[in-house]
Amino acid sequence: MTHSLSGRAALITGASQGLGLSIARAYVQAGASVMLCARDADLLGRARDEVAALAGSGQRVAAMRADVSAPEEVAALVSAALEALGGLQVLVNNAGVYGPMGSIDEVDWSEWTRAMDININGSVLPLRAVLPHFKQQGYGKIVQLSGGGATNPLPRITAYAASKAAIVRLAESVALEVKEHRIDVNSIAPGALNTRMMDQLLAAGSDAVGEAFYARMRRMAAGGATPLEVGAALAVYLGSAASDGITGRLLSAPWDPWETLHDHKDDLEATDIYTLRRILPKDRGKAWGER
């Protein structure tokens, strides 16, 4: 399915390669104007040229180098996006890193905390910066990229796992804060992707990430990975009017029937479907666990 983003403007972080670049392509092809952001200026320039070649009449494609974990750079980025695009309706928080791989008592602590800074603050800061504008216009879409670390333990990749769980609960919490302003905040689990981050994981080796996880990622890299376009399509859906009112959810791009989620808004509103929640003994058919 396709969803129109015509007339909408989006800021996309981590957009110079991988999933972020795929999302940028999909947004422009759906009719949006975009501001691309990344730390590598050379890669970002090439990405901007590639995405701009897809733009139609009236669409704008801009790019600005920024570190999303630096408050002053994020403030300048959002200001530049508002000026270059004439406004903003969508923020896609895609920038992120795996961080160090290995036993938590042995990995470099500065690398561990830096990964947390990029993955958590690098999502919070852009979100904080766009919210005043979204509130003023009474509408907005925040699309947060998460991952398998949010719902499954990832031993030996602890900074990534902890930060991905944190930003999903952040998205759930902010969704309730801003619901009255017609601002939707959702998270995407895009599936295992064959990107630069997969290359980093495989380069670290089985000693760093564990034999079972390493073997599974090798199988994914050999042909079992989720196509980037699947996560990009979900990002388009969550940035479009079709998903208005769907908020505070964590959606799996390859596994959930998100294409028709708007048909089930009442069920979502009344339940905790697609959210992070604690599992009780009764949820697993056990009779114990209640006081």
CA dist 69 and 191 (Å) reads 24
Domain boundaries, the chain: 9-191+228-262, 193-225
**pTM: predicted TM-score of the whole model, two decimal places:** 0.91
Give the per-residue pLDDT at 249: 97
Catalytic residue among 27, 98, 160, 237: 160
Give the per-residue pLDDT at 2: 64
CA dist 258 and 225 (Å) reads 19
Residues contacting residue 266 through CB under 8 Å, at least 6 positions apart: none
Per-residue tens of pLDDT for the chain, all 291 residues: 467 999 999 999 999 999 999 999 999 999 999 999 999 999 999 999 999 999 999 999 999 999 999 999 999 999 999 999 999 999 999 999 989 989 999 999 999 999 999 999 999 999 999 999 999 999 999 999 997 778 888 888 899 999 999 999 999 999 999 999 999 999 999 876 555 555 666 676 666 667 766 666 666 666 666 788 999 999 999 999 999 999 999 999 989 999 999 999 999 999 999 999 989 999 999 999 888
Supply the DSSP symbol for 91.
E
C-alpha separations of 282 from 87, 93, 267, 279, 285 in Å:
49, 36, 22, 8, 5
Architecture of domain 9-191+228-262: 3-Layer(aba) Sandwich (3.40)
> Which two structure tokens, joined as six digits, stand for 175?
């969704």
C-alpha separations of 285 from 110, 278, 280, 288 in Å:
43, 15, 9, 9
Supply the DSSP symbol for 280.
P
CA dist 29 and 19 (Å) reads 15
- Tell me if residue 160 is catalytic: yes
